Amino acid sequence: MIPVKNAHELEQMRRACRISALALKAAGEAIEAGITTADLDKIIYDTIVRHGARPNFKGLYGFPGSACISVNDQVIHGIPSKKVVIRPGDIVSIDTGAAIDGFNGDNAFTFGCGKIDSEAARLLEVTRESLYRGIAAAVSGNRIGDIGAAVQAFVEDNGFSVVRSYVGHGVGRELHEDPEVPNFGKAGRGPRLVCGMTLAIEPMVNQNSHVVKTLSDGWTVVTADGGLSAHFEHTVAVTAKGPEILTVAEEEA
């Protein structure tokens, strides 16, 4: 059963998502050589709490941080650590969310530290654009498969690969709700999209092979071949006016 939000619930979603986006933005602006991923996690925690919300990643399935912070060949679920120091040229994927008044936001962005090499820059650009291709397909009457097909086509046309082992998801009263939102697949397949659905669309894109593995910490997912990986995510509502990105970093008026 895919939850559908009414107008009031969508307003609550916008609030949770806005705080999620502000936290992500604050961490991105703090990235510089020498900062640790624990420092970035603290910035995220503080931003979310300052806005009266709760870091919804913290404690979920036992995850220790307020954000998953994944560097270079790490795909997702990197654990914030004082031992992980960001260096010039690193790419840093940050995934975080906030909950307030019973609703959740979820978003991710891959930032570069200083000047990154041209192939890394292209990976970030393609992954970010693939997210927007997916969002454009999140239209009432379409199917879930239309989103993944749009993402996959763009990524593969540009010579990169879409991670298969992890997918996007519905988001609302729970951080992870139905349906699954794969970043790959066939157009015209899967559940029909209707107005009021809220989806976390989140392409994870690898430089080389899409195959990933999990490190012995039980969390950190890395590319199997050591290539780079990028991750961009928005929480999006399907509305009568088309897809609405909810994770927008605007201060409250």
Chain residues that interact with Mg ion, rule: CB under 5 A: 106, 200, 202
206-215: which pairs have CB atoms within 8 A and are 24 or more residues apart?
206/75, 206/160, 206/161, 206/162, 206/163, 207/119, 207/123, 207/160, 208/161, 209/161, 210/161, 210/162, 210/163, 210/164, 212/75, 212/163, 212/165, 212/166, 214/77
Q: Which is nearer to Mg ion, 126 or 200 (CB)?
A: 200
Question: How far is the C-alpha of 65 from the C-alpha of 231, rounded, in Å?
Answer: 18
Residue position matching structure tokens 């763009």 = 154
How far apart are CB 136 and Mg ion at their closest, in Å?
19
- Which of residues 73 and 202 has its CB atom nearest to Mg ion in the complex? 202
Nearest distance from residue 233's CB to Mg ion, in Å? 5
CB atoms closer than 10 angstroms to residue 89: 14
Distance in Å, CB of 103 to Mg ion, minimum: 14
Of 73 and 106, CB closest to Mg ion = 106
Among left, alpha and beta (phi > 0; psi -120 to 50; other), residue 92 is: beta
- For the bound state, the minimum distance from the C-beta of residue 131 to Mg ion, rounded and expressed in Å, comes to 12
- 146/202 with CB nearer Mg ion: 202
Q: Which is nearer to Mg ion, 116 or 150 (CB)?
A: 150
- Least distance to Mg ion, CB of residue 28, Å: 17
The identity of residue 167, as a single letter, is V
Q: Which residue is nearest to Mg ion (CB)?
A: 200
To Mg ion, the closest distance from the beta carbon of 76 in angstroms equals: 9
Q: Report the side by side order of strands in the sheet with 204-206.
A: 161-162, 204-206, 229-231
Which residue, 106 or 244, has its beta carbon nearer to Mg ion?
A: 106
Map tokens 């939000």 to a residue. 5
